[in-house]
Structure 1
């Protein structure tokens, strides 16, 4: 049994439990206390999942905050726009997100572990009942895991292959070794770790090996992400994108041990998702998650509200 932190709330009379590792939102089959709660992840995994569109709330279930553009790696499939200015005011944005009805806040980048204030920001993000996570390339995770452990509910580490040859091809020499060391350190500190792998034509055949690696490292699961032709990734789209149908078939063919949480995030699911980028504006994935558009600067909680006729995902 693995007991870890989830976020629980009631929205539009629907009880919800958000998992900061898988980013899935569940509907519990029993009463659950409101706020940040300790639950058995095996029990939560049995509860049905529900999407934003099915509940019709105006505030997203969860958001990704790409707090900075800076990164120590230069991955050719990166979703970020390297030309965006970094607004700063990180503490102000963190407090605003904490004060909203968002169930889950994830800090991404760029590379969030380059932020000296990361632990303070995570503490703020989780101070009002939301679950908090961090998505990282893992390069600095071994060093920072002890300070993150008290304030983060899950860490997601990106992998493009199950070994150094495959992974470093995309992320640079030494990346695999550093990421593996980071995952081991995080697990040792009691942080739930979810491995993230982007499904591409060049990587999909290694999906089973990535699951095997996750089990070996003690991760709680693997999320397979459909490649989005956004940011740097637009240059690879024609050669590397896999259809949602083929992605589903790939994941359906995989085997994983009991207790490992495996999820596929299709482009269909990613459509409408809310991202706060480094320039301080609210963005949404649009046109089947093949593009991303800014809607407005994030100045108040109401700026997070979803368009009336659009849902936002996960």
Structure 2
């Protein structure tokens, strides 16, 4: 049963540029402009009309956009829930300007061991993440640690949880790695690793959407019976001010927005692509978290029930109830 029929999330790529070169990501390889405040202002108003609740200002590295605080302020004034994920390199520089503007602030950390994290990111940034945690806490912010889980680093969750997250009262978000395009993320998860992640997801200050685990056990999305609702739940806007369909990673087609996002999204041409969500050849086996998360939230099925406990837990810990209702 479908609960919500309108889009709920916008993945707003403020730039594809990045100051890291992560081995499990190819976004940083793309040339890219930066979004303009004028376009963002127009699009936010139309996103509001379309029913979107959450704006994820993403990249690349979103803090490379020097006007990001202004973009976040625009979104907050319109009542959106805001989120950014950063590698921490620039956060201490902009922390004062970002204060109070980010509802879900995520610092990426791939290992509790500095050398391993820096090698994963292709740049020295572990110490900047530690500095960012301290700065954010001094400002009264409540950041989360986003840990990308691989088969080879699942054993480091304990150290990361005990040495970094609990002492700083941070939520540890477990983000199972996913494959896409030509990016090679390594071997598939073993059943033992899936079980470890589920166990950790039940511990204090740890968030794991257990529907991610179920989806991997099921072999990802299947085009003959798709769980993906990316096209109808999530709008993707590129730095070139284009609407990208059916999602960023598949990116079959883009449409120039030209100040008319509301009517563009509702147009026949766009809705025909939306209707193919999860059914295109490239959708087979997909388990991309940033599109499955909203997909699990809008339709009652086994994934909805799997996702519910972790969703309630995160919102309780973060105190976000008033913003969601």
Same fold (TM over 0.5): yes
8 Å CA contact 1:160–1:167 kept in 2: the answer is yes
Query: In structure 1, which of residues 236, 245, 252 is the aligned counterpart of residue 198 of structure 2?
Result: 252
Q: Alignment partner of 2:74: what SS?
A: helix
Q: Deviations over 1:50-92 (max 9, x none)?
A: xxx8324232x11221211221111111252633542632441
Answer yes or no: is 1:236 the counterpart of 2:173: no
Aligned-pair distance for 1:116?
1.1
Q: With structure 1 as the length reference, what TM-score do the two structures score?
A: 0.69
Question: Per the alignment, do residues 178 and 85 of structure 1 end up closer, same or farther by CA in structure 2, a change over 3 Å counting?
Answer: closer
Answer yes or no: is 1:215 the counterpart of 2:166: yes
Aligned-pair distance for 1:193?
0.9
Measured in 2, the distance between the counterparts of 1:295 and 1:55 equals 28
Aligned-pair distance for 1:179?
0.8
Question: Per the alignment, do residues 205 and 279 of structure 1 end up closer, same or farther by CA in structure 2, a change over 3 Å counting?
Answer: farther
8 Å CA contact 1:98–1:130 kept in 2: the answer is no
Aligned-pair distance for 1:282?
2.8
Measured in 2, the distance between the counterparts of 1:118 and 1:197 equals 24
Question: Of the two, which has the highest radius of gyration?
Answer: 2
8 Å CA contact 1:84–1:279 kept in 2: the answer is no
Structure holding more strand per residue = 1
Aligned-pair distance for 1:206?
1.8
Query: In structure 2, which of residues 48, 58, 61 is the aligned counterpart of residue 111 of structure 1?
Result: 61
**Other-structure match for 1:50:** none
Measured in 1, the distance between the counterparts of 2:69 and 2:173 equals 24
8 Å CA contact 2:17–2:28 kept in 1: the answer is no
Q: Alignment partner of 1:235: what SS?
A: coil
Aligned-pair distance for 1:178?
0.4
**Other-structure match for 1:182:** 132
Q: Could you tell which deviates more after superposition, 134-143 or 267-276? A: 267-276
Gaps of 5+ in 1: 1-52
**Other-structure match for 1:262:** 207
Once the two structures are superposed, the pairs formed by residues 127-138 of structure 1 within 5 Å of their partners are: 127-138=77-88
Answer yes or no: is 1:278 the counterpart of 2:223: no
Structure holding more helix per residue = 2
Aligned-pair distance for 1:275?
3.0
Gaps of 5+ in 2: 221-226, 279-290, 295-325
**Other-structure match for 1:296:** 255
**Other-structure match for 1:66:** 13
Q: Deviations over 1:133-184 (max 9, x none)?
A: 2111111112211210132222111111112022112114531110111122
Question: Per the alignment, do residues 290 and 127 of structure 1 end up closer, same or farther by CA in structure 2, a change over 3 Å counting?
Answer: closer
Answer yes or no: is 1:92 the counterpart of 2:39: yes
**Other-structure match for 1:139:** 89
Measured in 1, the distance between the counterparts of 2:229 and 2:195 equals 20
8 Å CA contact 1:141–1:183 kept in 2: the answer is no
Q: Deviations over 1:81-122 (max 9, x none)?
A: 633542632441244134422111111111111111011000
